[in-house]
Structure formats: structure tokens, C-alpha cells
Structure 1
């Protein structure tokens, strides 16, 4: 893979899918990828020399793992309206240091992102604070005010820059309204992301319904509350022959329904989050509000099913569902605390842990965090082919660190992994060939 333009960056001795490579970057794009020491052919380099092209910054990445910049398809930036939890600047800081080149952010801001002017303001704010990225891609509200009774102006939101639509954590119980949303979104070339939850079965619940909730006397929501809406969306997508994306899948019942749908060729895609692959509802035995999330952490059997699903591709992508909350909001009784776990700071280390464990491979991480999110939402992805955007990060695979106020960049620290040693740390991120962190 070669080009003839003058390179501006030359990355040496990086490990890419088990192969040691040198990467040359020119004009913000991949100019060449060659075996380490074999040389490259951009102007100013002797073939076979392994030396940097003339004028290019040379970086030795020995010992580092090279990944394309990841895409997080489900975050909450909290701006406008709840900047005390997170704002776009701090959220993108967490994304950048976490290896993410692009984030999609939900519409549950205050005011709700159901107006094109709000969408444009969010994008402008992101560009002002992080001109070279990470790139912010708003998700527009599916219904006005997320109330589920009136469609939001989807065409205007799409024109302003929304890449998808969702009612976020407020599922649309009116199936006719949801159908219209899916159809009108498809007219704009966009997909609807659905939070699958039966609002009646989930009412008043604070965790998964099961043995653990019974032991500690907390009302739980059953997994069928999620699976019922997954089934509805699958049947609707099959009937309409239009895509629907299923957010943060958490249980075996949903996985089995999605597998059935994919065998039939139904145009549904699905995501899950690192915490559903690593934690169970036993995290709440001590009433730990940092582990309170919606959908809730489930059982060991659900974790096993989700791990199999991300391996096989039944679950298409990973996303963080980054949901920051201020300390005082989580330092309350379990039944008063809001749902949500932060994830942008820790996601790469957590999923790298699954690679170390043998559950996933490096290729799986690229598929789940980059290639497939790019396909679903129509975003560019670096496949390390000539001409691809030079969006990539280096991971120190053996670096040990502990999530804390000193090591995290989000304003909020509401993660059950706080204070626990993780292995794997992003060392540097380049977007368009520009070093961002």
C-alpha cells in the first residue's frame, strides 16, 4: 500500500492485528502501511530503508498496539442544561483520552435536542473546544420533548447534522407512532435507536428482578420487559423492511430474539456495553448506586449469552452508554439515585481486558468499536488502507492504572470500576493525522 505524496507522520514498529508495521501519513490520510523495517515509498524515502520520509515526524511505537480510532454510538454529553454533570468539552476530553475519534450523543439534554438550532449549537461547541476532534455527532429526538406523542422535525434535525434518532431512555409505547418515526427516519437515510423497555413492567424498579433483588428487598424489573420491546421492534423492522438499532442489550432473552431475527434477514442491529459483559446484579448486594444502570445489570447467564453474542456478531457493536452524574446524585439511597455509569474513560481498558482473557480478539475490538458502528451510522472508519482517514490510537497493552479523579477526564466518576486496577491505557490519539492527545 503506497502513495506518492509527502508524508507528515511516520509511525514505526506498531503492532496491528499481530503484524509489526510502519505507517506513513500524508495530508491527513494513510499514505502507506508496510512491514516494519521494510521501508515505504512516499517521497523522500529510499525503498527498503525503514527510515522516515523526509520532513516527516517519526515516532517509535515499539511495544504499542495500533487501533483505528473508535466510535462510541451511545453517549450522554449533558450539554445543554446539565453541565454540572458533564459538558461537551469534558465529555470529548474523556473520549479523546479513551481512544474515541467520534461519539454519538443522545438527545436527553435540557432543552431536549428536538430543534435544529440545538443540534447546530452542540456541533459548534464541539468544534470550538476540540477543532481537530473527537467529532461530535448528535442523535436527534424521535419525538418532541421525548414525550412519545408527536414526531420531532426529523428532516430539519437531519439537515442540521443529526446522524440518527432516538427517544433515548423514554421508549415509545405507541407502536403506530414508533412506526411513523422509523419510516420518516428512513426517508432521511437515518436509523432509529430504540431503548427497549416495557414501561409498565419497569415501573418503580431499581435493578434486575431475580434472586439478588429478592435477597436485598429491592424492586426489580424482569428481563422480559426488555425482550418484549425487542420482539416488537424485530417484527416491525421485518414488516417495514427498514432498519432499527437496538440499544444496550442486557439479557439472554433479547440475544435469542436478535439471533432469530438475523437468521431471517430482518434489518435489525444491536449494541451492548462493557458493563453488561463484565458485571452482574450481585454488584448491588451492598446497595452500590454506582452499579445502578438502566437496563440493569443482569445474571451470570446473561453475561455468558452476551459474550457469545459479541463473539458471533449477533450483537453488532459495543457502546459505552456514557451517563455521567454528579457525586451528590449518586450518594443517595439506591431507590433515589439516577441510573447511569460513565464509560468513555474506561471502555478501551475494559474491553482490552476481554482480549487478555481470551473472550475477544484485537480484530473483534476493531469490528465492534469501529467498522460496524461506521457502517450502521454512515461514518468514516480507518481500515488502514491508502486514502483512509488517519484516525488511530496507540494502546500501551501492559500499562496498569486505577480509575480516579486524577486519571479520568469526565467530570463525573460514577463507575463501579472506580478504584479498581485496569490494564491497558491509551497512549496517544491522532485524528486526520493530527495528534489530539
Structure 2
């Protein structure tokens, strides 16, 4: 295995620059004055020049679309987008076609991720058969498969039946897995097209009330507490949900939660253009909600950032609003949005970024080799970031097959200059290696 020497990086953006020598997939030496001549003959050298070195990012919520919708994304193109965004591990959601509700499909996704080799692809298993919310899927079989599924979710749809959700949480305790819920009471969102509020009323959209999310989160926190199970709340979007999470955590409930970059930055004011690029589920909320989400992430009430990377084919987005599918790209822009909303505002430092983009998601997803401290002997899963650089987002230039980014033309801070997976450089200077 080729050795890698990173010269002059700041660990977590702190202290003086140091050199980091990577050999045999681990951080072999950290210090000053380390030269390539001290390592293997074919050592690759990265001149970091004071850039920020962080543990590689982990995304708990990625849609890779394979199998079934390879016209929107594949495991190969999604993995490339992830590596370029600083990710070393992603969790691929189950709403594929066919649905990842059995060991055959999850093993296929895992195997394809291994073949591509740019990031560790961990399949998420469906909670219910076919995502229909009627019968529990083969949780035990998937948990014991080659893919070793550790997260289960019907994301895109809510496990609305409280008895079924209770049974899933109870079974999860014996399997040592987490149930991740898309919190949306379906009877409150029939025909919903946007956040229920001033903007939806003015624009004539059917409203998606905050209570549709908050009622399910409250219910499931109670069920998880009763079962002693681990619950993860997907893409938190309302200020009320943060209050429920704080209450549940104070009571000792084993609940974690994620927020997307787009819910940290964007608001429902963007809907006035009627551009379906802004259609997402849960919908963009108000500026007050976004402010509360940022504060909750900084406090730790919300545990981590997850992209909900949702590529769509052109025909599924370039159409009238009501027919457009919800979702946005997120893997290559996530770090920059976090830098814009959390670092530039002083809500997080770079060590805090490591916590919400690497350490906590790795813990929640039970990935012992990711999100590790930057210390000698630890696995070399890394992201190198230039905090002073800026870049302009162009959907056509992103690695994904789809181009549905809401940040088109935006100038954003923070550039991932290199990603390292188990000691191997997977991306460097914006190019896949």
C-alpha cells in the first residue's frame, strides 16, 4: 500500500501545523519535520499549507438509487460525489427498486460499494416489506447478512402504524440496530406541497404542517423509551421537533437526530419562484425554524448533519411543481453549507464540525473505524479542507448523474482538497483518484 504524507495540516483547525504520515492504512506518525524519505519509496505527498485535517465524514442518509433508478444515480457516481465531498462512509437508503427489504438486495448494494471502493457503502434496510407499512421486513436476516445492516428505515415514507413501529423498536434491541424514522403523519399531509404557513397560503400550495412531523417524533420517543430501543429521527425540520428531542433526551430516551444542510440554510421564501428545485420532503420551513435548527445542532440536541442526498432524473424535476419529485443533491455541498451556516457564524468550530459530520454519525451507525480521533495508530479515514477557499456551485460539474442542486451559482466557503479512505487517496483537488 502506498504511503501518504500530509505536510503542514492543522488537526481540527487547531494549534500549529503538523505533518501526518500514513502507512498501512493508519496514522503512523504525527509531528513536525517528517520527510517522504523517511517513509516508503513511493510515498504520495500532499502539501496542506495550514489546511484543516478532519476525520472523514459519515453520511447517515444518502439515496444512491441503485438498483432501479440508475438514470438518476448509481453507486459509482454517488460514491464519487461522496468522496469529493470529504465522505469516507455513507448509508444508502432502502427506497430502491426493488426495495432493500431482504438480504439479497442489501448484500448487492454492499458488494457494489466494495467494488467501486471510493467510500464504504452501508445499505439501510427497510423496516417494512416494500415500504408499505403493513408487515415487518426481514430485520434479523438483513442484520446477519454479509452487509451487516445496522440501520433500518422506510425513509420517504413514515412507519405510521404505532403498533408496527413499537414492534420494530422492540426487535431492534435484540439485534443491536437503530430504527430511523421519516417523521410524517400521512393523514396530515395529504396533497401537501409546501410548509403550511404564510408562504403556502400566499402561493396557493396545500400546506404541510409542522405538527405532522412533531406528533410522530413525540409518539416514537415514547415508544422508544418504553422499549429501551435506539431511535433516530431523520431530517428534523421544525423548531417544535427540537423541543421534543430535548425533552426526550432529558428523560433518558435513546434518541438521536439529524438535520440536513438545506434545512440549515434555505427557507420557504425560496418557493415564490415556483421552481421545483426547491421541493423537498420535509419541506423548507421558515427562517425561525432554520435558526432554531442551527442552535440545536450547536447544542447537541440535534446530533449530526446528514445530507438526504436525493438525485432525480431531469424529467422528475423539470416539470410543474405538483408533479415534481421532492429532493436535492447534497454530498458535494454539505461541508460548504455547514461552513456557511455554522462555522462562519461562530456556532461551531472545526472540532465541532468533526463531531456533527463524522464522530456522531459514525457512533449512531455503529462504524468503529470511522469518526476516530486524529491520533497515531488510528485508521486513516480523513478529509482535508481548505477553510479559506471558495467555490461556485454548478450542477453540471458535480459528480452525480443528476444536477438538481438548489445552490446553483452560489459562491460557498470551504473546499475539500483531499479525501483518504483507509490510507488511500480517493479524491484530490476536485478529482477522483
2:376 maps to what in 1?
386
Q: What is the count of residue pairs matched by the alignment? A: 418
SS in 2 for 1:301: helix
- The CA distance in 1 between the partners of 2:353 and 2:29, in whole Å, is 23
CA contact (8 A) 2:2 2:424 kept: no
Q: Corresponding residue for 1:303? A: 290
Q: Give the corresponding residue for 1:44.
A: none
1:366 and 2:363 matched: no
Aligned to 1:426, the other structure's residue is in SS state: strand
Which SS does the other structure have where 1:436 is aligned? strand
After TM superposition, give the deviation of residue 78 of structure 1 in Å. 0.4
1:278 aligns with one of 249, 265, 276: 265
In the TM superposition, structure 1's runs of 4+ consecutive aligned residues that sit over 6 Å from their partners are: none
User: Which residue is 1:348 aligned to?
Assistant: 335
Partners of 1:7 and 1:53 within 8 A in 2: no
Q: 2:190 corresponds to which residue?
A: 203
Tell me, yes or no, if structure 1 residue 141 matches structure 2 residue 126: yes
RMSD, matched Cα:
1.5
Cα contact 2:395–2:408 (8 A) shared by 1:
no
Q: What is the TM-score when the length of structure 1 is the normalising length? A: 0.93
Structure 1 contact 345–410 (Cα < 8 Å) conserved? no
CA shift at 1:406, angstroms? 4.6
Structure 2 matches for 1:220-239, cutoff 5 A? Answer: 220-239=207-226
Alignment of 1:27 onto 2:24? yes
Deviation larger for 138-147 or 397-406? 397-406
- Aligned twin of 1:46: none
1:176 & 1:357 partners in 2: Cα distance?
A: 43
Please report how far the alpha carbon of residue 10 of structure 1 lies from its aligned counterpart in structure 2 after TM superposition: 2.1
| Equivalent residue number for residue 405 of structure 2 | 415
* Per-residue Cα deviation, 1:152-211 (whole angstroms, up to 9, x for no partner): 011111122222111112111211111111121221111000001110111100110000
Tell me which of 156, 160, 165 is aligned to 1:169.
156
| Counterpart selection for 1:214 from 184, 201, 207 | 201
Selected match of 2:95 from 108, 114, 117:
108
CA distance in 2, matches of 1:353, 1:15: 20
Q: For the Cα contact (< 8 Å) 2:27–2:376, is it kept in 1?
A: yes
Q: Is the 8 A contact 2:242 2:296 kept in 1?
A: yes
**Alpha-carbon distance change, 13 to 184 in structure 1, aligned in 2, over 3 angstroms:** same
Q: Using the alignment, how far apart are the partners of 1:15 and 1:412 within structure 2?
A: 34
- Alignment partners' CA distance in 2, 1:350 and 1:57: 30
Q: 2:233–2:255: 8 Å Cα contact kept in structure 1?
A: yes
The CA deviation at 1:123 is 1.4
In structure 2, how many angstroms separate the alpha carbons of the residues matched to 1:185 and 1:241? Answer: 10
Equivalent position to 1:124, from 99, 111, 123: 111
Find the aligned partners of 2:3 and 2:315 in 1 and give their Cα distance.
47
Per mean C-alpha deviation after superposition, the further-off stretch among 88-97 and 417-426 is 417-426
Provide the C-alpha distance between the structure 2 equivalents of 1:281 and 1:94, rounded to a whole number of angstroms: 27
Which residue of structure 1 lines up, in the alignment, with residue 420 of structure 2?
430
Q: TM-score, normalised by structure 2?
A: 0.93
Gaps of 5+ in 1: 1-5, 40-49
Does residue 1:93 correspond to 2:80, yes or no? yes
Larger Rg: 1
- What corresponds to 1:182 in structure 2? 169
Question: Which residue is 1:16 aligned to?
Answer: 11
Q: Deviation at 1:387?
A: 2.0
Give the SS at the match of 2:200: helix
- How has the CA–CA distance of structure 1 residues 405 and 224 changed in structure 2, closer, same or farther, with 3 Å as cutoff? closer
SS at the partner of 2:322?
coil
Separation (CA, whole Å) in 1 of partners of 2:393 and 2:335 = 12
Return the alpha-carbon distance in structure 2 between the equivalents of residues 9 and 338 of structure 1.
43
Of 382, 385, 388, which residue of structure 2 is paired with 1:395? Answer: 385
- CA gap of 1:222–1:405, structure 2 versus 1, over 3 A, is closer
